[in-house]
Amino acid sequence: MTPRSGQQITLSHGDKVATIATIGAALREHTVAGRDVVVPFAADEIAPAFNGMVLAPWPNRLQDGAYTFAGRTLQVAVSEPARSTALHGLACWERWEVDSVSPSAVTLALELPASPGYPFQLTLTTTYALADDGLTVTTVARNEGPEPLPYGVGFHPWFSPGDAPLDDCTLQLDAATRVTVDDRLLPLGTVPVDGKYDLRSPRSLAGVVLDDAWVDPILDTDGRSWCRLSSRDGALTEIWADSEATAWQVCTGDFPGVERSGVAIEPMSCIADAFRTGDRLITLEPGDMHALSWGMRLR
């Protein structure tokens, strides 16, 4: 029987190994020279806390699962009852198909089923590719239907601190603005980073609790923003995203089932509730495509 997380595809390149699971096109494991880059989960386990999954057609939370688009009021299922939100889209629990595979790369494809709450014809592909400079992930969306559709995408890897506690790590993030939220973790506005939220220089995670988003990413000359996790074992995990990632979410996992075993560092095309607010929301016209690339390396 197929494992709960779906078909397993293992890639390798030199000392780098990654295993992709077809449910949610999830990055289930990734090691470099035997050291975990991400927090792994078992093949026959349902991905805990959306571990490694592709989040589309919206990342993060959608208030009450309700939104209006092109004059229509639409309702998707509330999947986070405690906060009455629809969390992390629809693609994460779908079984993606293997489109192509090689020893070091795989492309998974999904034709997202149209539904009453999202009655659009969206196709997605996600490619994982290992190379000398690390793991690169590219998701491409295409509107296959006759009408515009709303779209956003994000990714949910949990990065490993190695053998030491997360409190022994430092975190650095290239972003200048923090998103403020209410008690349901829905956006209220933005403010310049300060205090524990100013991660432009490395900051200790000792005792720091985060489940927050940052915008206004600071791009390098290649058009990328970066997040860097430094661990006690001397490993430096560098996560990058291209300019289509207009936001980053960081979560230290201070809840049952995770208990600070890693830190979620999530590149996103938009922040929470974009289907309602329109903030950084992408509208794909018929035939339009959108691509976002991001990746990671261990040094």
Structural domain range at position 194: 8-298
- Is 3 part of any domain? no
Residue-wise pLDDT tens digits, 25-80: 999 999 999 999 999 999 999 999 999 999 999 999 999 999 999 999 999 999 99
User: Which candidate, 270, 263, 269, 272, places its Cα nearest to that of 293?
Assistant: 269
Residue-wise pLDDT tens digits, 128-178: 999 999 999 999 999 999 999 999 999 999 999 999 999 999 999 999 999
Gyration radius from the chain CA atoms:
18
What pLDDT was estimated at residue 249?
99
- Is 223 part of any domain? yes
What pLDDT was estimated at residue 272?
99
Query: Which tokens in the block code for residue 160?
Result: 């490993």
Contact by Cβ (8 Å): 42, 65 = no
Residue-wise pLDDT tens digits, 188-242: 999 999 999 999 999 999 999 999 999 999 999 999 999 999 999 999 999 999 9
- Is 287 part of any domain? yes
CATH number, domain of 44, equals 2.70.98.10
Integer Cα distance of 197 and 177 in angstroms: 9
- Is 77 part of any domain? yes
Contact by Cβ (8 Å): 125, 96 = no
- Is 170 part of any domain? yes
- Residue 257 pLDDT more than 90? no
- The domain total for the chain is 1
Cβ atoms within 10 Å, residue 214: 27
- Is 1 part of any domain? no
- Is 58 part of any domain? yes
Residue-wise pLDDT tens digits, 67-115: 999 999 999 999 999 999 999 999 999 999 999 999 999 999 999 999 9
Q: Which residues pair with 20 in a beta bridge?
A: 9, 27
What is the residue whose two structure tokens read 């709960």? Answer: 4
Kindly report the backbone phi and psi dihedral angles of residue 275, in degrees, each rounded to the nearest multiple of 5, phi listed first.
-65, -25
